[in-house]
Chain A
Amino acid sequence: MSAVDQLASAHEIRERFGFWKRSYAMLIKEFIQLKRDRVSFAMIVMLPVMQLLLFGFAINTTPHNLPSAVLLQEDSDLARSVLKALENTAYFHFIYEVHDVDQFDNLLKSGKVLFGVEIPRGFERAVRRGDKPALLVAADATDPVAASAALGSLGMIVQTALAHDLYIGNPPDMPFEIRAHARYNPAANSSLNIVPGLVGTILTMTMLIFTALSVTREVERGTMEALLSMPIKPVEVMFGKIIPYVLVGFVQAFLIIGIGVVLFGVPVLGNLFLLALLSTLFITTNLSIGYTISTVVQNQLQAMQMSMMFFLPSILLSGFMFPFAGMPTWAQYVGECLPLTHYLRIVRAIMLKGATMQNLQFEALALTALMALAMVIAVTRFRRTLD
């Protein structure tokens, strides 16, 4: 009994500053834990840095080098000169030169170009005669931000450029008329652009998190040990975990599009079945990526963080928040690797432009490739033992 008393007296409890001491002890403990959790630690640094870099460099609201096509119905010097002037503005980058209207329309519809310039037959002669012929500029206005800046500055730029051109002297006013068509979204109504975009964004976020937590949850609840001791293969686990959520995603997509149509008056010009089909593909792609995340991380917190790490560039670099064409080349390359980029093109094209499968082959193929890649990584990464 005396031994216990001695121990107690040797370690007298001092109540002073108890709150601060306990808080400090807690703080140190948290720091150590954080230091050990490498992914969380990296996120603390990575997230703000990434945001800063993305907003600072990648996001350029003044688009330039917008992919454009020219429908050349007359190969004259003046036509060339006008094109050159347009290209010199740095807004337009002519990547296609076509000679028939169907091809021209198809380029716009598939989203390969955002602008089309049509130089009509007999353009130069009409200018020289002073007939003020029309120069048609068709813009894909499903993304009003990208279209409007370029359209707004069009007239002035061309005039300035041609003023220095010696072909027609120095005319007092425009020798021809520029007729701009904001196609698909003439009123530049941004909800037309945002609602289809939201379908993709919301699906990305929810699908990713559903599956990103799936494997780690099993590990944390201890059910993984039993699951692994049973005769089930990694691919089976994966499909078993992905497929239920395809349905969930489908319901979500249906809801968002439904609300968009009813509340915002967004049209669905294209085939609804095609939209459903490609949406299912997109949902499955995201679920596969989420599942891949869950096979890489160690706990649910890391899974959430890694999902965010994927989600953030998806919003910023896919063309959802900022015009894709306005981003620097490297950011566009990153964007091409994100499923959301391709899905945004698909969903906007089908809903707003009435695009068909033929217009969207590349995007569908890209989504399929990304899905296959994610699945292969997930299956090979899945640990079949507890080692």
Chain B
Amino acid sequence: MNAGDQIAIDVKGLTKSFGGREVVHDLSMQVKRGSIYGFLGPNGSGKTTTIRILCGLLTPDSGEGTCLGYDILRDADKIKRQVGYMTQRFSLYQDLSVRENLEFVARLYGLADARGAARDMIKRLGLSGREAQLAGELSGGWKQRLALGACTLPSPKLLLLDEPTAGVDPKARRDFWNEIHALAAEGLTVLVSTHYMDEAERCHEIAYIAYGHLLTHGTVEEVIAGSKLTTYTVTGENLNGLTAALSGEPGIDMVAPFGTSLHVSGRDVAALEASIAPWRDNSGLHWQKAAPSLEDVFIELMGRSRDNFQG
């Protein structure tokens, strides 16, 4: 087995513009086979566009690469056969029943026993008893399970999931992620975009993308370490006043409230220490140096990239 077989997605320099606005800029990434790759970034950062390029729904303006060993520019048809794509918006037929939707997908991919495949998937999804219900009448959590079922039905090698858990309750989210881990354990590669930090931490690797630029990638630990961020957690009285006083001070890149505490972070340790020094002795405040959370890192990255790319 050579290196190429170990890599499911390998793209370089992807660029895509819509109406003169660059949505994806010079994006390169590699995803290992059998891994769960988290794709994070604010709304409109180019996550969906990148996923669509990977499965052949969009043609990049420039760039190249392979998906499951097939050229993303020339072999879109072959890629489509082996990729399950779960769209951000529910895109099964609302006026078809659960079973009819699954049978439609099964037939489209040419499964020999479409009825049987649909029946088995209904069982696996725990949708028994609901197979005659119209897809449009299902609750959000069930719709999402059904959509995942539909795109895993033709046994793909790669799953592209675009914000699959948006608007789904925590219990359903947990079940969903257990399912994804089970699929990855079976050898499936999963690329999943999300806004949720807890979901990011369940991925083997993550990438952070903002304004079309891939800002950082690696394991969660690597991303946190790579941020070189120093974070202090402050608890106490009048944190609103402190927020106002610290924002914009030298060395302080981010001040963000987390429940009853405040996270103060910066990349320049010396400048940060100097700026917070006048407040350290305040008896009403309790300061504690802490490891930055993934969220600290991302919010700081987002703030920095906004300055860089939005003038």
Measured CB to CB, the residues of A under 8 A from B are 221-226, 228-232, 384-387
Interface of B is mostly: loop
Tell me how far the C-beta of A96 lies from the nearest C-beta in chain B, rounded to whole angstroms: 55
If A223-B92, A230-B80 touch, whether A385 touches B87 (CB-CB below 8 Å) is no
Tell me how far the C-beta of A266 lies from the nearest C-beta in chain B, rounded to whole angstroms: 38
Does A225 lie within 8 Å of B57, measured CB to CB? yes
Residues in chain B near residue A386, CB distance under 8 A: 52, 57-58
Task: Pick the contact of A222: B52, B80, B91, B109 (CB < 8 A).
Answer: B91
Which residue, of B57, B92, B94, B109, has the highest number of chain A Cβ atoms within 10 A?
B57
If A229-B85, A231-B108 touch, whether A385 touches B77 (CB-CB below 8 Å) is no
**CB contact list, B62-99 vs A, under 8 A:** 76-77, 80-81, 83, 85, 87, 89-94
A-B contact pairs, 25 of them (CB 8 A): A221-B94, A222-B87, A222-B89, A224-B91, A225-B87, A225-B89, A225-B91, A226-B85, A226-B87, A226-B91, A226-B92, A228-B57, A229-B56, A229-B57, A230-B105, A230-B108, A231-B109, A232-B108, A385-B56, A385-B57, A385-B58, A386-B52, A386-B57, A387-B58, A387-B59
Measured CB to CB, the residues of B under 8 A from A are 52, 55-59, 76-77, 80-81, 83, 85, 87, 89-94, 105, 108-109, 150
Tell me how far the C-beta of A22 lies from the nearest C-beta in chain B, rounded to whole angstroms: 31
Residues in chain A near residue B80, CB distance under 8 A: 229-231
Which residue, of A222, A231, A384, has the highest number of chain B Cβ atoms within 10 A?
A231
Residues in chain B near residue A385, CB distance under 8 A: 56-59
> How far is it, in angstroms, between the C-alpha of A228 and the C-alpha of B52 when the chains are bound?
10
If A230-B80, A385-B58 touch, whether A223 touches B108 (CB-CB below 8 Å) is no
> How far is it, in angstroms, between the C-alpha of A224 and the C-alpha of B57 when the chains are bound?
11
> How far is it, in angstroms, between the C-alpha of A387 and the C-alpha of B18 when the chains are bound?
8
> How far is it, in angstroms, between the C-alpha of A231 and the C-alpha of B109 when the chains are bound?
7
Residues in chain B near residue A223, CB distance under 8 A: 91-93
Does A231 lie within 8 Å of B81, measured CB to CB? yes
> How far is it, in angstroms, between the C-alpha of A231 and the C-alpha of B83 when the chains are bound?
10
Tell me how far the C-beta of A2 lies from the nearest C-beta in chain B, rounded to whole angstroms: 15
Least CB separation from A384: chain B residue = B76
Residues in chain B near residue A230, CB distance under 8 A: 80, 105, 108-109
Residues in chain A near residue B52, CB distance under 8 A: 386
Least CB separation from B78: chain A residue = A231
Least CB separation from B80: chain A residue = A231
A-B pairs, 3 with minimum CB distance: A226-B91, A229-B85, A231-B80
Residues in chain A near residue B83, CB distance under 8 A: 229
Does A222 lie within 8 Å of B56, measured CB to CB? no
Residues in chain A near residue B108, CB distance under 8 A: 230-232
> How far is it, in angstroms, between the C-alpha of A230 and the C-alpha of B94 when the chains are bound?
18
> How far is it, in angstroms, between the C-alpha of A222 and the C-alpha of B143 when the chains are bound?
14
> How far is it, in angstroms, between the C-alpha of A351 and the C-alpha of B105 when the chains are bound?
45
Residues in chain B near residue A225, CB distance under 8 A: 57, 87, 89, 91
Residues in chain B near residue A224, CB distance under 8 A: 91
Does A231 lie within 8 Å of B77, measured CB to CB? yes
**Given A231-B108, A386-B52, 20 other A-B contacts at CB below 8 A?**
A222-B90, A223-B91, A223-B93, A224-B91, A225-B87, A225-B91, A226-B87, A226-B92, A228-B57, A229-B56, A229-B85, A231-B81, A232-B108, A384-B76, A385-B56, A385-B58, A386-B57, A386-B58, A387-B58, A387-B59
